[in-house]
Chains A and B, each alone.
Chain A
Amino acid sequence: MNALRDAGIEMIPYLIAFVVGYLMPWRKEWFERFAVGSVAALSVAFVLGLWPDKAVEVAETRPEEWGHLLNLIVFLPLIAAIAVVFLPRQSPKLLKQFTMVVLGVDFLASLALLGVPMSEGWHFQYVTEWVPSLGIRYHVAIDGISVWLVLLSTLSTPIALHVSFGSIKKRTKELCFAFLMLHGAMMGAFVSLDLFLFFVFWELMLVPMILIIGIWGGVEKIKASYKFFLYTMAGSMMMLAAILYMAWVFHSIEGYWTFDYLALKRLVLPEDAAFWCFAGFALAFLIKVPMFPFHTWLPDAHVQAPTGGSIILAAVLLKLGTYGYIRFCMGMFEGPAWEASATLAGVAVAGGIFYGALCAWKQSDIKRLVAYSSVAHLGFVMLGLFSGTHAGVSGAIVQMINHGISTGALFLLVGVIYDRRHTRQIADFGGLAKVMPVYTALFVLVTMASVGVPGTNGFVGEFMVIMGTMVSDSLGRHATPAAVGASFGVILAALYMLSMVQRVFFGPLNNPKNEKLTDINSRELVAVAPLVALIFVFGLFPNILLSRMNDSVGATVRHLAEGRIAYEAHAGATTAKLRPKRGGPWEAGHPSPPQVADVAVALNAGADK
C-alpha cells in the first residue's frame, strides 16, 4: 500500500503535465488533446530523467528564505513563454490576460524578496548540479545590488507590456512570447552566480529583443535589429572566450571544472591574461551599457523599437551592462579594473556625459534625444563604478534604478504622443500644454527627475556619484577633473531636456494637427503612475534603496581593494594562482571538488571493471 502511495506521489508531475497539456485550448478533437498531453507528460519524464541527481548542499541556508523563490521568479516567465506557443493565436484576449497574470505573479513574488534584510552575504541562494561533466552548476542568489535590479525588471516588464498592448494590435502571440522570454532571461541574468548560467541567460535575451525591435519596430527596424544583434554578439563572444579561459585556468590549478563566480573570483591571473580576460568581459558589458565608442547601436535601437521595447531596453537591458560590470569585471578582475578605471572614467565623462549630452542637444527627434540622454546618464553610472568608492558605487546603483524609472517613463510618454501623431519630431509640436495639460504635467515631472532636480530620484544618484568621484583613489589625480566634468554634465542635461520641453509643450500652438490631440488616457495613466510615484518615493526617501544595498556595496568596494592588492603582489608572475578562500557569508555556496575529479575518467573506470 505504501509503495502504491509512493508511486502515486511520483506520478504527480506527469499527471499535472498531462492535464495541463490536455487542457491547452489548442485543438478541438480529444485525441489531439490527448497527444499534446502525452507529449507534455513525456517531456516531464525526459527532464526528470536527464537531470543530474547529485544535488549540492548549500553551505549555509537561511531558514527565513524560501530557496525556490528565485527559481519561481526566473522560470515562471520562461515556462509561460513556452505555454504561450501552444495557446491559440486566434484569441488575443486570452494571450494578453495570461501574460499579464504571469507577469503580475512574478512581480508579487519578487516583492517577497524585500521581506528579508539584505545583510552580508548571498540571499535566497539555490545551488544544484546542471551539467556535472563540464562543472556547470545552477547557482542563483541575490544580494543588495541585484535585488533592486530584479525588482526594477519585474516592475518594468508589465508596464512595458501594458503599454505595448495599447499600441500594438498585430501578432499578439509573438509579442507575449517575446516579452515573457525576455523577462525570464533578464531575471536569470541578474540572479546567476555561475558564469556559464549567466552567459546562457545573457544570450537568451538576444533573440526576443531582436524580435521585439524587428517585428513591431519602425521603418528602419531591420537595420536596427541587425545592429543590436551584431554588437551584442561581438561582445558576448569575447566574454565567452574569457569565461572558458578562466575555467580552464581554475581547472589546471585545482583539478576540477567549475564556472562558479565564487570560485573563479579567487583566481589571481598574471598581468597579460588578467588584462585580456578583463577586456573580454568589459567589452561585452560596455557594449551593452553602452559606453562611448560602442554606443552607436543604441539610438537606432531605441528609435526603431516600439514603445514597450524601448522601455524594457532603457529600464532593464542596459542595466545588465552596468550590473555585469559591477559583479563580474569589478568582482573578478580587481587589478585590471582598478588600473583601467582612470582611463575609462575619462571616456565616461568625455564620451558619455559630454558627447552624449551634446548629441542629445542636437537631436530633432524626441525619442532619439531621450536615447542620447541615456548615454549621458549611463556615463554617470559608469563614472560612479570606476570611482570604486562606497559613495560612488552606491550612487551608481541608485542612478541605475533611477534611470530605469525616469527614462522608462520618458519613453512611455514619448510613445503616447507618437501613438496620436505618428511623428516624434520636435518641430512638429509646440504648445501642447494647452491641449494636453495632464500629459504636460507628467512629462515635466519626469523631465525634472531625469535632469536631477533635488527632491526627485535623479538628484540623489548624481550627487552621490559626483561625491564619490571626488574622493576616489582609483582615479588618482583625475578624480577632481572627472567630478567637475560630471557636474557640468548635469548642467548640460538641464539645458537639452528643458529646451526640448520648452519647444514641445510651451510656446504657441501653431500646428493645426495638434489642436485635436486628446489628453493622456486611463490606460497610459495606469502605466505611468507607478513610475511617477517611485520618482518621488526614491527622491525623498533614498534610504529605502541605500540601506538595503549598503552591505553589498561595502563588500564590493572592500573586495575590490583587497583583490587589487593581491593582484599587485602577484605582479610579474607568469602563472595564475588561487587566492585562499576568504570564508564568511560571501563565499557560501562555493563549489567543492567532486568525488572523482573527471567524470570521463570515472565512467571509464566503471567501464573497465
Chain B
Amino acid sequence: MIDLFIALSPLLTVGFGGLLLMLAEALGKPANNTGMSPDGAVVVDAGAGRSEELGLLATVILFSGAASSMGVWLADPATLGVELVSPWLQVDRYSLFFSFILCISGGLCTLLGGGYLEEHKIDRGEFFTLVVFSTVGAIALGFAGDLLTVFVALETMSLGVYCMIGLRRSSPRAGEAALKYFLLGSFAAAIMMFGAALLYAATGHTDLAGIGAFVGGLGGEASGETAMVIVGMLLMLIGMAFKISAVPFHMWAPDAYEGAPTPTTSFMAAAVKTAAFAVLLRILLIAFGDPRLMSWGAGWPPVMACLSVLSMTIANVIAGRQSSVKRMLAYSSISHAGYLLMGVCAAMRLPEEASASVMFYLAGYCISTIGAFGALILCGSRGKEAVSYADLAGIGRRHPAAAAAFALFVISLAGMPPTAGFFGKLYVFRATIDAELYSLAIIGLLNSIVGAYYYMKVLVFMYMREPIPGAPIAIPMRSSMVVSALIIAAALVVAIGVLPGALLEMAAVAAAALS
C-alpha cells in the first residue's frame, strides 16, 4: 500500500500541496489590499498582496511534484503495486514523463504569476490554488487510463483554467476570454462525453485497454458496434481537437489567450496542451490502436492529417498578420499543435518513435512558449502590458536581458539551433518521414518557413526598430520571480538544444511504456 502512495506521489504531492497552499492563503496575514465593490461593500481578497510568497510556495510545491515524478521514474513504477489503481490511473513511465513536464510548466507559470499579479494589481492568492489544482487535473489526465478518469481530470484542469482567465474581474477582455473559453470548452467536453458514451455503448468498456481489445475482436463486416465505435471515436477526436486548439476548432484560442492574464496564457499554451496531447496519444494508441483504425481507410490518421495541415497552414498565415505579439504567440501555439499532430499521424506506422518525438517536442515547446510569454511579461509593467509589436520596439536597448531571453525563446519556437525547439522539430519531422508521410512532412517544412517569418518579426522589432518618440511605451518591469523563471527556462532550452541525449532517451523509454 505504501508503495502505491509512492507511485502516486506526483499527484499526491501536488494535490496536498494545493491544500497546504489554500491554508497558507487563508491563515496568512489579513490582506492589506482592499477594494470597493460597486455597491460600496469592502471586498477583501484572501491572499491579496502576498502573491510573491504564495507564488514561491506554489512553485516549490510544483517543482517537488516534478522531483517526485523523477523519483518514481527512477524507482520503476511497475514494481510499486500500481495495478491497484489500474486502469483508472496508469502509473507508467509514459505518464511520469508527462507529469514531470507538467509540473515544470506549472512551476514556471506560478513563478511568472508571482511577479505578474503584483505588478498588475491582481495579486490574489486564488490564482495559485487554481494553477496547482489545474496541474493536478493535468497530471491525472496524463495518468488516466479510463474514460471516466479522463473526464474528471479534464474537467478539473479546464475548470481551473476558466477561472484563472476570469480572475481579472475588472477587465472586460478577461471576462470575455473566460466566457468564450468556458463555453467552447464545455461544448467540446460535452461532445467528447457523448463520444465516450457511444464507445461504452458499443463496447461495454470504459477503460481504454478494454475498448482496444473489443475493437480488436470486432469482425471485418460492418456492424452496429463498428459504426458506433467509429462515430464515438470521431466525436472524441473533435472534443480533443478543441482542447489542443487545432484548426478548425481553434476559434476560442486566440481570444482566450489574448484576454487572459499572461501567466494563465502560458499555462494554457503549455500545460493544457501537453496534457491534452498526453491523453490523445494514449487514447489513439491504446483504445484505437487496432490496425484497422490506424489506416488511411477508415481510421483516425486521415482526420489527424487534415487537422494537422489545416492547423499549421491557417494558423501560420494568420499569425503573420497579427499586430499583437500575444495573439501571434496564440496562433503560433495553434501551429505548433499542427506540427505535433503531424507526429501523432506518424504514430500510425511507428507508434513508439512517433510518440517519443511528440513527447520530446512537447517538452521543448512548453518551456519555450512559457519563456516567450514570460519575456513578454517582463517587457511590460504597471497595468501596461507589452502586447503589440510596437511595445517591443527598442526593447533590445531598453532591457537587453529581456530581449535576449525573448530572442532565445522565439528562436526555439521557430525551431532553429541551438535550442530545444530545433531538436523537437527535427525529431517530429524525422518520425513523419520515417512513417513515409512525405507530403505531410514537406507541408510541415514549408510551414516552418512561413512560421520563421513572424518569429523573426519579433527579433526585428526588438533589435532593429526604435519606438516612436513620445508614444506611450511599456516600461520593462522588475521582478526577481519572472527573471528566475526566465533563467530556468532559458537554461533548459539551451541545455536540451545542445545536449538532448538524456531527454531523448527518456522520451523513447516513456513511449515504449505506452504500448
**Interface segment, A110-118, A200-208, A334-342, A520-528?**
A200-208
Q: Which of A174, A238, A604 contacts B396 (CB 8 A)?
A: A174
**Interface segment, B232-240, B372-380, B427-435?**
B427-435
Q: Are B404 and A85 neighbours in the complex by a CB distance under 8 Å?
A: yes
**Interface segment, A218-226, A322-330, A532-540, A555-563?**
A218-226
* Given A46-B495, A230-B452, A248-B460 contact (CB < 8 Å): no
Report A575 CB to chain B, min CB distance, Å. 13
CA gap between A131 and B500 in the complex, in Å: 7
A92 within 8 A of B: no
Q: Are B453 and A230 neighbours in the complex by a CB distance under 8 Å?
A: yes
B3 within 8 A of A: no
Closest to B76 in A: A607
B411 within 8 A of A: yes
Report B19 CB to chain A, min CB distance, Å. 33
- Chain A residues 197-247 with CB under 8 Å of chain B are 199-200, 203-204, 206-207, 210-211, 214-215, 221-222, 225-226, 229-230, 233-234, 237-238, 240-241, 244-245, 247
B197 within 8 A of A: no
Report B273 CB to chain A, min CB distance, Å. 24
Q: Which of B356, B396, B463 contacts A600 (CB 8 A)?
A: B356
B441 within 8 A of A: yes
Q: Are A237 and B448 neighbours in the complex by a CB distance under 8 Å?
A: yes
CA gap between A599 and B501 in the complex, in Å: 11
A294 within 8 A of B: no
A51 within 8 A of B: yes
Q: Which of B407, B416, B448 contacts A206 (CB 8 A)?
A: B416
- Chain A residues 137-179 with CB under 8 Å of chain B are 171, 173-174
Q: Are A600 and B501 neighbours in the complex by a CB distance under 8 Å?
A: no
* B residues near A603, Cβ cutoff 8 Å: 505, 508-509, 512
Interface flags for B494-513 (1: CB within 8 Å of A; 0: not) read 01001111101100110110
B52 within 8 A of A: no
* Given A134-B504, A215-B464, A43-B491 contact (CB < 8 Å): yes
CA gap between A221 and B501 in the complex, in Å: 39
Q: Are A133 and B465 neighbours in the complex by a CB distance under 8 Å?
A: no
Closest to B410 in A: A207
Q: Which of A46, A196, A200, A222 contacts B418 (CB 8 A)?
A: A200
CA gap between A200 and B418 in the complex, in Å: 7
Q: Which of A85, A89, A600 contacts B509 (CB 8 A)?
A: A600
Report A446 CB to chain B, min CB distance, Å. 31
Closest to A251 in B: B434
Closest to B497 in A: A200
* Given A132-B501, A241-B442, A203-B417 contact (CB < 8 Å): yes
CA gap between A245 and B435 in the complex, in Å: 11
A544 within 8 A of B: no
Q: Are B434 and A248 neighbours in the complex by a CB distance under 8 Å?
A: yes
- Chain B residues 411-448 with CB under 8 Å of chain A are 411, 416-418, 422-423, 426-427, 429-430, 433-434, 438, 441-442, 445-446, 448
Q: Which of B93, B418, B452, B459 contacts A233 (CB 8 A)?
A: B452
CA gap between A230 and B504 in the complex, in Å: 30
* B residues near A214, Cβ cutoff 8 Å: 459-460, 463-464
- Chain B residues 428-485 with CB under 8 Å of chain A are 429-430, 433-434, 438, 441-442, 445-446, 448-449, 452-453, 456, 459-460, 463-465
CA gap between A533 and B467 in the complex, in Å: 46
* Given A206-B416, A248-B433, A599-B508, A241-B464 contact (CB < 8 Å): no
A50 within 8 A of B: yes
Q: Are A230 and B449 neighbours in the complex by a CB distance under 8 Å?
A: yes
B400 within 8 A of A: yes
A596 within 8 A of B: no
CA gap between A133 and B360 in the complex, in Å: 13
- Chain A residues 569-609 with CB under 8 Å of chain B are 599-601, 603-604, 607
Closest to B461 in A: A222
B385 within 8 A of A: no
* Given A207-B459, A221-B464, A237-B417 contact (CB < 8 Å): no
* A residues near B430, Cβ cutoff 8 Å: 134, 244, 247-248
CA gap between A196 and B452 in the complex, in Å: 20
CA gap between A173 and B456 in the complex, in Å: 20
B352 within 8 A of A: yes
B292 within 8 A of A: no
* A residues near B512, Cβ cutoff 8 Å: 600-601, 603-604, 607
Report A565 CB to chain B, min CB distance, Å. 28
A52 within 8 A of B: yes
A47 within 8 A of B: yes
B397 within 8 A of A: yes
* B residues near A130, Cβ cutoff 8 Å: 499, 501
* Given A203-B416, A206-B416, A50-B433 contact (CB < 8 Å): no
Report B356 CB to chain A, min CB distance, Å. 7
Closest to A214 in B: B464
Q: List 21 A-B contacts (CB under 8 A).
A: A47-B499, A50-B499, A131-B500, A134-B504, A200-B417, A207-B407, A207-B416, A214-B459, A215-B463, A222-B460, A222-B465, A229-B452, A230-B452, A241-B442, A244-B430, A248-B430, A600-B352, A600-B353, A600-B505, A600-B512, A603-B512
B interface residues (Cβ-Cβ under 8 A, vs A): 76, 93, 352-353, 356, 396-397, 400, 404, 407, 411, 416-418, 422-423, 426-427, 429-430, 433-434, 438, 441-442, 445-446, 448-449, 452-453, 456, 459-460, 463-465, 491, 495, 498-502, 504-505, 508-509, 511-512
Further 19 A-B residue pairs, CB within 8 A, beyond A50-B502, A207-B411? A50-B499, A85-B404, A89-B400, A131-B423, A131-B500, A133-B504, A134-B430, A200-B422, A211-B459, A214-B459, A214-B460, A222-B465, A234-B449, A237-B446, A240-B429, A241-B445, A600-B505, A600-B508, A607-B93
The 5 tightest CB contacts between A and B, nearest first, are A600-B508, A50-B499, A214-B464, A237-B445, A200-B417
